[in-house]
Amino acid sequence: MYNKDMEKLGKQASAIRTLFEYGKAKKKEIGDDKVYDFSIGNPSVASPSIVNSTLIKLINEKDSTKLHGYTSASGDDNTKKAIEEYLNKTYNADVCYKDIYMTCGAAASLAITFNAILNKDEEVIVFAPFFPEYKVFVEKAGGIIDIVKSDKDFQIDFDDLNKHINKNTKIVIINSPNNPTGVIYTEENIIKLAKLLEEKAKLYNHPIYLVSDEPYRELIYTDTLYPFITRYYKNSIVCYSFSKSLSLPGERIGYILLSSDMDNKENVFNAVRGAGRSLGYVCAPALFQQMVPYCLGYTSDLNEYKKNLKDLKEMLEEIGYEIIKPEGAFYMFVKALEEDANGFSENAKKFNLLLVPSDSFGVKGYVRIAYCVSNNQIKASKTAFENLYKFYQEEK
């Protein structure tokens, strides 16, 4: 008999994917420009030109066996040294290339990290709303998800966190800028979190790892400072990806980084290597590893997302929607006009608006809008958002 849990996972697509597939079918039926698809976080802005020019240069100039061959399991040293230099220069991060493990994107970084750290039934704290795949990765690694509330501004709710941390807590995940709210955790809260985790780790006499999931690290539209986690907490693990910063989600490239002063760092790094090996990753894509040193510090044109954010925010607020003001990523969390976000998302479909209900992110009563779409789509969706709003006014 095959594995029933895996069958279930394969059968039940995520809420995001389900809506995305619905959108594809609907576009075929009524035309692309009639469906306002805000379902999925696929970057809408082209990669910076250095990406393609570097790839072409590498393909033309490098020996193809070197270009496409296996790299060391943890990644190419040149790539890792370039990342070290970039992080130390940009964030004063004080990290070392030997503590970097190249991966196939943030999803792989997270899955490998959870398998490396967790023993059966150990607990992983996530702050709701959270990226739904965390649950899938944690449970496959034998862990249990423990959901903690966010406060009214979608920052960390420390009272709730305090109640949840217990002797089985092994990992706390943060994701900032956040999917789905776009909120960035303040430095003050990161300092407070680090202090609390240090106290609790002492109390329970084992490390509690702070895993920072950072695919949106560069997608910031305000002057907000980005608190780089290794500067604040010694047992921190960065799970990074170039998927969003360089608009490369299909190419699968990212890394895991352990903080320099981590307890038993060599053993933890070996556990990361072991987890990567046991999950069959072998190495991260060689061509894209070789591209990375040339592209560090570059991003896709963030002004396009910034403009989308401004236009969408103004449009929705003018109509009367209540939004959580995002500072980064390319998502907006909007209050549903009824308690049941699924019902609201279904009603939105009647106006060909595809909005992801918040339940699978672990909170009720909101929808997520992925505004990584063309600016035209945002403008064209205005009447649909107005009609949806009117529909609820008339219901009352």
Note whether 182 binds ligand PLP by CB under 6 A. Answer: no
Q: C-beta of 167: minimal distance to ligand PLP in Å?
A: 28
243 is a contact residue toward ligand PLP (CB under 6 A) = yes
Q: How far is the CB of 311 from ligand PLP (least distance, A)?
A: 22
Q: Total residues at the site for ligand PLP (CB under 6 A)? A: 13
Q: Does 337 bind ligand PLP (CB under 6 A)?
A: no
Q: How far is CA 15 from CA 4, 39, 358, 369, in A?
A: 20, 9, 9, 13
Binding residues among 193-222 for ligand PLP as defined by CB under 6 A = 213, 215
For the bound state, the minimum distance from the C-beta of residue 175 to ligand PLP, rounded and expressed in Å, comes to 5
Cα(35)–Cα(38) distance, integer angstroms: 9
Task: Decide whether 126 or 201 has the Cβ nearer to ligand PLP.
Answer: 126
Pick between residue 131 and residue 351 the one whose CB is nearest to ligand PLP. Answer: 131
| 326/385 with CB nearer ligand PLP | 326
Contact 182, 327 (CB under 8 A): yes
**What is the crossing angle of helices 105-117 and 133-140, to 10°?**
40
CB 94 within 8 A of CB 230: yes
Q: How far is CA 300 from CA 79, 261, 295, 311, 383, in A?
A: 20, 33, 11, 19, 30
Nearer to ligand PLP, 111 or 337 (CB): 111
Task: Compute and round to an integer the Cα radius of gyration of the chain.
Answer: 21
Residues 143-172 interacting with ligand PLP (rule: CB under 6 A)? none
175 makes contact with ligand PLP (CB under 6 A): yes
Pick the closer one to ligand PLP by CB: 87 or 337: 87
Torsion sign over Cα 55, 56, 61, 67:
positive
- Separation of CA 290 from chain center: 23
Find the shortest distance in angstroms from Cβ 391 to ligand PLP.
Answer: 30
For the record, the structure tokens of 288 come out as 């894209």
- Tokens 């010694």 -> residue: 234
Comparing CA positions, the residue from 305, 307, 300, 185 lying closest to residue 248 is: 300
CB of 300 to ligand PLP, least distance (A): 14
The 87-126 site mask, x for binding ligand PLP (CB under 6 A), equals: ------------------xxx-------------------
Per DSSP bridges, beta strands 209-213 and 169-175 are parallel
- 35-54 mask for ligand PLP (x: CB under 6 A)? ------x-------------
Q: Is 179 in the site for ligand PLP (CB under 6 A)?
A: yes
Q: How far apart are CA 97 and CA 384, in angstroms?
A: 50
Does 131 bind ligand PLP (CB under 6 A)? Our answer is yes
Specify the residue, 94 or 133, whose C-beta has the smaller distance to ligand PLP.
133
Q: Contact positions toward ligand PLP, by CB under 6 A?
A: 41, 105-107, 131, 175, 179, 213, 215, 241, 243, 249, 254
